[in-house]
């Protein structure tokens, strides 16, 4: 997967912010000018030319407006027209991801290639270890016979000169379930029937040819129309912004949310349920149980691992419990989940009960467009969080299991297996459970490696977030809030 900070992310943040500035100024009709302001005439392009760059900026804006580019791309239609439609009626949530075919480079198929570094050595371990006799020597250098090669990578492992290179197709390589493929023209296509909305492909493409359709505009419309909206902040939010949780809360109130509630509160309910359930299942000798809070994992079960249907915990996700609590307290309020996750939008759409889902990076764009500086805000009172603050760990791998164990009478008796990130390999492992069940009691599944703090909607690297979480000593630069210059 791409390193989080790169030119594409920077561009994305800039586009999001500029669009929101226009939104807040009530000037969405000027949207058509934006690709030209962002990509000016004198820019040195990173793509082939500024015209293509402008076209891609246009598509990014469409994705931010929530438009399904695959189906509703009309190149003659101005962005302002799209915006007008979106302002009148919210576009449907699914499918979550959309491809920008113009942006796709059309990478050559996944392959191994032998570079000039090959010395044509005497031992020739590549040839000796190739299971398909695909290596031939021409003019004293090794070559791979493409027709025979099965892309096992053995030659790469054994070459003493590191002369073999693996050239992957990043999006295909990233997709755990093989739902991203290239069509006959060599351009990326997503098989939405199989896609689990984990967002890995979108994070992997260095050309930005896969985008998530944002749900930001419907949320902003709610806020603008004066409806009362409760912001539900995911446990991963701590460390994503400069400043403390209390300051993040204050900033959210400032942009117009009526209330701010921590999803950790709902996570405490999930924890209690899962703790009861895992003990009961163990007592009845039913075998392993998996967690159920990761939305992309629930999609995975639904679309690819049907046999796990009776294995996952019946507890709802923290988002659902939190939303219920909010609606019990304030029946008139609408609820918006703010998290690091794309798949949560899918969960919200399928299960209902949550009125909107946005990501941290979209929230950052709101802050930037409104000129709100989180760490300059007067800290808002968080209230008494002692009942659920241990559940803030839900955002980190092994955190859910730890919470559940802390609510079990005899934690040592529960054997835990964390699935830290669902990729091709762990997907294969999970498939094998159908025939041979893992010898554990609790399987904690998180689709993103490291947990939600490395989700596709995050802003900072997990290492930074970890440093800033819980007000540890490493966070000193941020702790010195009002330090005079």
Partner 1 sequence: MKKEKVQVRICVGTACFVQGGSDLLLYNDFVDPAIIAECEIEGCSCLEACKVDGEGAPYVMIDGEVHSKVTQEEFARLLTQAVKNA
Q: How far is the CB of 409 from partner 1 (least distance, A)?
A: 41
**Minimum CB distance to partner 1 smaller for 363 or for 443:** 363
Q: What SS3 string covers the chain? A: CCCCCCHHHHHHHHHHHHHHHHHHCCCHHHHHHHHHHHCCCCCCCCCCCHHHHHHHHHHHHHHHHCCCHHHHCCCCCCHHHHHHHHHHCCCCCCCCEEECCCCCCCCCCCEEEECCCCCCCCCCHHHHHCCCCCEEEECCEEEECCCCCCCCCHHHHHCCCCCEEEECCHHHHHCCCCCEEECCCCCEEECCCCCCCCCHHHHHCCCCCEEECCCHHHHHHHHHCCCCEEEEECHHHCCCCCCCHHHHHHHHHHCCCCEEEECHHHHHHHHHHHHHHHHHHHHCCCCCEECCCCHHHHHHHHHCCHHHHHCECCCCCHHHHHHHHHHHHCCCCEEEEEECCCHHHHHHHHHCCCCEEEEHHHHHHHHHHHCCCHHHCCCCCCCCCCCCHHHHHHHCCCHHHHHHHHCCCCHHHCCEEEEECCCHHHHHHHHHCCCCCCCCCEEEEECCCCCHHHCCCCCCCHHHHHHHHHHCHHHHHHHCCCCCC
**Minimum CB distance to partner 1 smaller for 138 or for 485:** 485
Residues 12, 6 contacting (CB under 8 angstroms): no
Q: How far is the CB of 378 from partner 1 (least distance, A)?
A: 14
**Minimum CB distance to partner 1 smaller for 124 or for 375:** 375
Question: Residue 416, Cβ neighbours under 10 Å: how many?
Answer: 17
In the complex, the residues that contact partner 1 under the rule CB under 8 A are 5, 10, 13-14, 241-242, 361, 364, 367-368, 372-376, 459-461, 463-464, 467-468, 476-478, 480-483, 485
Q: How far is the CB of 463 from partner 1 (least distance, A)?
A: 6
Q: How far is the CB of 198 from partner 1 (least distance, A)?
A: 23
**Minimum CB distance to partner 1 smaller for 244 or for 335:** 244
**Minimum CB distance to partner 1 smaller for 23 or for 312:** 23
Q: How far is the CB of 476 from partner 1 (least distance, A)?
A: 8
Question: Residue 148, Cβ neighbours under 10 Å: how many?
Answer: 13
**Minimum CB distance to partner 1 smaller for 183 or for 476:** 476
Q: How far is the CB of 377 from partner 1 (least distance, A)?
A: 10
Q: How far is the CB of 242 from partner 1 (least distance, A)?
A: 4
Q: How far is the CB of 477 from partner 1 (least distance, A)?
A: 3
Q: How far is the CB of 41 from partner 1 (least distance, A)?
A: 16
**Minimum CB distance to partner 1 smaller for 242 or for 287:** 242
Q: CA dihedral defined by 247, 249, 252, 256, rounded to 10 degrees?
A: -120
User: Please, what is the angle between helix 295-303 and helix 343-351, to 10°?
Assistant: 70
CA 66 to chain centre: 16
Q: How far is the CB of 352 from partner 1 (least distance, A)?
A: 31
Residues 346, 299 contacting (CB under 8 angstroms): yes
Sign of the dihedral through C-alpha 123, 125, 131, 134: negative
Q: How far is the CB of 216 from partner 1 (least distance, A)?
A: 15
**Minimum CB distance to partner 1 smaller for 179 or for 468:** 468
**Minimum CB distance to partner 1 smaller for 442 or for 478:** 478
**Minimum CB distance to partner 1 smaller for 35 or for 266:** 35
Q: How far is the CB of 4 from partner 1 (least distance, A)?
A: 9
**Minimum CB distance to partner 1 smaller for 5 or for 432:** 5
**Minimum CB distance to partner 1 smaller for 39 or for 442:** 39
């Amino acid at each position: 997967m791409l390193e989080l900070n790169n030119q594409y992310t920077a561009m994305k943040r800039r586009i999001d912010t500029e669009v929101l500035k226009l939104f807040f100024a009530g000037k969405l009709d000027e949207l058509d000018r934006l690709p030209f302001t962002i990509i000016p005439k004198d820019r040195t392009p990173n793509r082939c030319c500024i015209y293509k760059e402008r076209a891609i900026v246009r598509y990014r804006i469409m994705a931010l407006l929530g438009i399904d580019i695959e189906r509703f791309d009309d190149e003659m239609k101005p962005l302002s027209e799209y915006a007008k439609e979106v302002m009148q009626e919210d576009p449907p949530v699914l499918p979550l991801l959309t491809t920008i075919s113009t942006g796709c480079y059309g990478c050559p198929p996944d392959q191994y290639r032998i570079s000039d570094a090959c010395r044509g050595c005497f031992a020739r371990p590549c040839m000796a270890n190739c299971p398909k006799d695909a290596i031939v020597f021409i003019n004293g250098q090794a070559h791979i016979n493409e027709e025979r090669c099965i892309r096992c990578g053995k030659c790469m492992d054994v070459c003493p000169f590191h002369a073999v290179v693996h050239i992957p197709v990043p999006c295909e390589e990233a997709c755990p379930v093989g739902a991203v493929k290239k069509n006959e023209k060599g351009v990326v296509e997503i098989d939405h029937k199989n896609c689990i909305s984990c967002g890995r492909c979108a994070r992997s493409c260095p050309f930005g040819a896969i985008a998530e359709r944002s749900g930001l505009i419907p949320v902003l419309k709610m806020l603008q129309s004066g409806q009362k909206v409760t912001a539900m902040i995911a446990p991963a939010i701590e460390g994503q912004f400069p400043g403390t949780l209390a300051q993040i809360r204050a900033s959210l109130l400032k942009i117009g949310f009526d209330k701010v509630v921590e999803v950790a509160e709902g996570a405490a309910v999930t924890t209690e349920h899962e703790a009861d359930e895992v003990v009961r299942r163990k007592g009845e000798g039913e075998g392993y149980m998996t967690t159920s809070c990761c939305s992309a994992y629930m999609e995975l079960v639904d679309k690819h691992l049907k046999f796990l249907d009776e294995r996952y915990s019946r507890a709802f996700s923290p988002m659902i419990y939190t939303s219920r609590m909010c609606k019990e307290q304030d029946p008139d309020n609408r609820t918006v989940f703010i998290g690091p996750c794309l798949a949560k939008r899918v969960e919200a759409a399928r299960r209902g009960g949550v009125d909107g889902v946005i990501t941290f990076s979209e929230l950052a764009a709101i802050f930037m467009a409104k000129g709100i500086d989180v760490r300059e805000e007067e800290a808002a009172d968080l209230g008494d969080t002692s009942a659920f603050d241990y559940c803030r760990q839900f955002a980190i791998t092994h955190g859910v299991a730890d919470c559940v164990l802390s609510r079990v009478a005899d934690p040592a008796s529960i054997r835990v297996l964390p699935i830290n990130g669902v990729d091709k390999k762990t997907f294969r492992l999970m498939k094998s459970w159908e025939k041979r069940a893992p010898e554990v009691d609790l399987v904690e599944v998180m689709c993103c490696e490291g947990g939600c703090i490395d989700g596709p909607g995050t802003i900072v690297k997990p290492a930074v977030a970890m440093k800033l979480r819980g007000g540890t000593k490493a966070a000193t630069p941020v702790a010195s809030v009002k330090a005079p210059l």
